[in-house]
Amino acid sequence: MIVVVKHGASEKQIENLTNWFKAKGVEPDVSKGTDMTIIGLVGDVSKIDTELVEALDIVDSVKRVSEPFKQANRKFHPDDTVVTLKNGTKIGGGNFVYMAGPCSVESEEQIIYCAQRVKAAGAQILRGGAFKPRTSPYSFQGMGEDGIRLLMEAKKETGLPIVTELMDIKHIDLFTDVDIIQIGARNMQNFELLKEIGHCDKPILLKRGLANTIQEWLMSAEYIMAGGNHNVILCERGIRTYETYTRNTLDLSAVPAVHELSHLPIIVDPSHATGLSRMVPTMALGAAAVGANGLMIEVHNDPPRAKCDGAQSLTPDQFDQVTASVGKVLAALRG
Ligand code: PEP
Ligand code: MN
C-alpha cells in the first residue's frame, strides 16, 4: 500500500502517521522525493482501513500496489536509488560505473596488473572471482580464501573497491573488506542466502538467474530488502533461450523494464551474456545506449590462458577501447 502525503505536511505529522502505522503492525518506509513524499507500507496491510487513512488531513491519496515486489517497486520510491560505496563511488541515478577484471583471481601478479589496467581505463570497481560457481566439479573452483586475500592486495595497491561472489553464507567472515557482495545467476533464487545477506549492510550485486523473469528477479531483490538491506544493484547477464550461437541471450529490454518497475540501479554484463569477446564491445555500447547504470566486463591479462571464461574476456587494450567508445555514447545521451 502507498500513502501519498500532501505538500506542506510537517515532519511531526508524518512521524505521527508512521507511528500509527507501526502500531497497526505494518512497516512504513518514508520516501521523500523531489515532487512528493510517499509512505510505503509493507506487511499485512489488511488491518489498515484505507478510507480512514484517505480522510486524514495530510493524506493526498492511498493506492494498493498490485505487484508482489513492494520495497523494490518504483511506486514505493519514485526517485532512483543511488548506492554509495565506502570510498564514495556512486552507482545509480546519473552515475555510470565500470566493474572490470578477470573472471577468476589466478595470482597476485595477474590481479594487480588487471586492477592497474582497468583503473587506468576508467573502471571504478575491480571484479574477480575467488569462489567460482562452475558447471563441472572438475573445473577450476577458484582460489577461495587466498583469492579474497589477493583481491585485498589489489585494492591496497590501486584503491579500487572490490566486487566478488559469495556462494555460501559460511564464507561471509572472509568478506569483511569486500565492497560489494555478488550473488551469481545460479544463486539468484537461493532464498536462504538472500535472507542472510539481507541482514548485512554491504551493497549487493544481484545477477539475474539463467532462466528467470524480471518479476522473479525483483522478488529476489525484495528478499534482500525485506531483511533491511536496501543497497541492491541488479545485473542483467543474459538469459537462456533456444539460441545457442551466443552463450546466453542478452535481454537489453530488461534495462528500461527495470527502470520502469524499480528504483534500483541496473548494470549489464555483456561478457557472460554473449560468451564471445568480439561481441562484448558492441553489446557494451548497446547497454549504455538503453540506459544501463554501468557495465560489468571480464578483462584478463592473457585471455587464451585464462583458467575460466577466456573466450569472453577482453584484453586490457580492448577494454581501453570499450571505455573510450562507451564514453562517446554517454556523452551523446547527455546531449
Ligand atoms: C561471474 O560473474 O563470474 C559469474 C559467474 O557470473 P554469472 O553468475 O552471471 O554466471
Ligand atoms: Mn566468468
Q: Determine, yes or no, domain membership for 57.
A: yes
Q: Determine, yes or no, domain membership for 266.
A: yes
Instruction: Match 575467488 to its residue by C-alpha cell.
Output: 130
What's the CA gap between 199 and 169, in Å, rounded? 12
Q: Are residue 90 and residue 41 in the same domain, yes or no?
A: no
Q: How remote is the CA of residue 299 from the centroid of ligand 2, in Å? A: 10
Name the nearest CA neighbour of 217 among 230, 207, 202.
Answer: 207
Q: What is the pLDDT of residue 46?
A: 87
What's the CA gap between 79 and 101, in Å, rounded? 31
State the total domains in the chain: 2
**CB-CB neighbours of 329 under 10 Å:** 17
Q: Determine, yes or no, domain membership for 174.
A: yes
Q: What is the pLDDT of residue 130?
A: 98
Contacts of 187 (CB under 8 A, 6+ apart): 133, 167, 193
From first CA to last CA, the distance across the chain in angstroms is: 38
Asked if 194 and 162 count as a contact pair (C-beta separation under 8 A), the reply is no
What's the CA gap between 242 and 230, in Å, rounded? 35
Q: Are residue 163 and residue 42 in the same domain, yes or no?
A: no
Q: How remote is the CA of residue 256 from the centroid of ligand 2, in Å? A: 25
For position 140, which CATH number holds?
A: 3.20.20.70
What cell was used for 205?
Answer: 550485486
Q: How remote is the CA of residue 190 from the centroid of ligand 1, in Å? A: 15
- Residue closest via CA to ligand 1's atom 3 equals 103
Q: Are residue 45 and residue 191 in the same domain, yes or no?
A: no
What's the CA gap between 280 and 198, in Å, rounded? 32
Q: Are residue 50 and residue 87 in the same domain, yes or no?
A: no
237 CB near ligand 1 (under 6 Å)? yes
Q: Are residue 127 and residue 229 in the same domain, yes or no?
A: yes
What's the CA gap between 100 and 127, in Å, rounded? 5
207 CB near ligand 1 (under 6 Å)? yes
Distances (CA, A) of 92 to 59, 71, 82, 83, 264: 30, 16, 5, 6, 7
Name the nearest CA neighbour of 283 among 246, 242, 333.
Answer: 246
103 CB near ligand 1 (under 6 Å)? yes
pLDDT one digit per residue (tens) for the chain, 335 residues: 999 999 989 999 999 999 999 999 999 999 988 778 999 999 889 889 999 999 999 999 999 998 999 999 999 999 999 999 999 999 999 999 999 999 999 999 999 999 999 999 999 999 999 999 999 999 999 999 999 999 999 999 999 999 999 999 999 999 999 999 999 999 999 999 999 999 999 999 999 999 999 999 999 999 999 999 999 999 999 999 999 999 999 999 999 999 999 999 999 999 999 999 999 999 999 999 999 999 999 999 999 999 999 999 999 999 999 999 999 999 999 99
Q: How remote is the CA of residue 49 from the centroid of ligand 2, in Å? A: 50
Q: Are residue 25 and residue 124 in the same domain, yes or no?
A: no
Q: Determine, yes or no, domain membership for 320.
A: yes
Q: pTM for this structure?
A: 0.96
Over the range 76-99, which residues count as b (16 or more CB within 10 Å of their CB) and which as e?
Answer: bbeebbebebeeebbbbeebbbbb
Q: Determine, yes or no, domain membership for 109.
A: yes
Ligand 2 is an ion; its neighbours by CB within 5 Å are: 103, 309
Q: Which atom of ligand 1 is nearest to the CA of 129?
A: 3
Which domain does 19 fall in, by range? 2-63
Instruction: Match 486524514 to its residue by C-alpha cell.
Output: 56
For position 27, which CATH number holds?
A: 3.30.70.1140
Contacts of 263 (CB under 8 A, 6+ apart): 72, 73, 74, 76, 77, 78, 79, 80, 81
User: How many residues appear in the chain?
Assistant: 335
133 CB near ligand 1 (under 6 Å)? yes
What's the CA gap between 334 and 174, in Å, rounded? 40
208 CB near ligand 1 (under 6 Å)? no
Q: Are residue 199 and residue 303 in the same domain, yes or no?
A: yes
Q: Are residue 225 and residue 152 in the same domain, yes or no?
A: yes
| Half-sphere CA count of 158, side-chain side, radius 13 A | 27
Q: How remote is the CA of residue 72 from the centroid of ligand 2, in Å? A: 27
Q: Determine, yes or no, domain membership for 77.
A: no
Q: Determine, yes or no, domain membership for 69.
A: no
Q: Determine, yes or no, domain membership for 71.
A: no
Q: Which atom of ligand 1 is nearest to the CA of 186?
A: 8
Q: Are residue 59 and residue 208 in the same domain, yes or no?
A: no
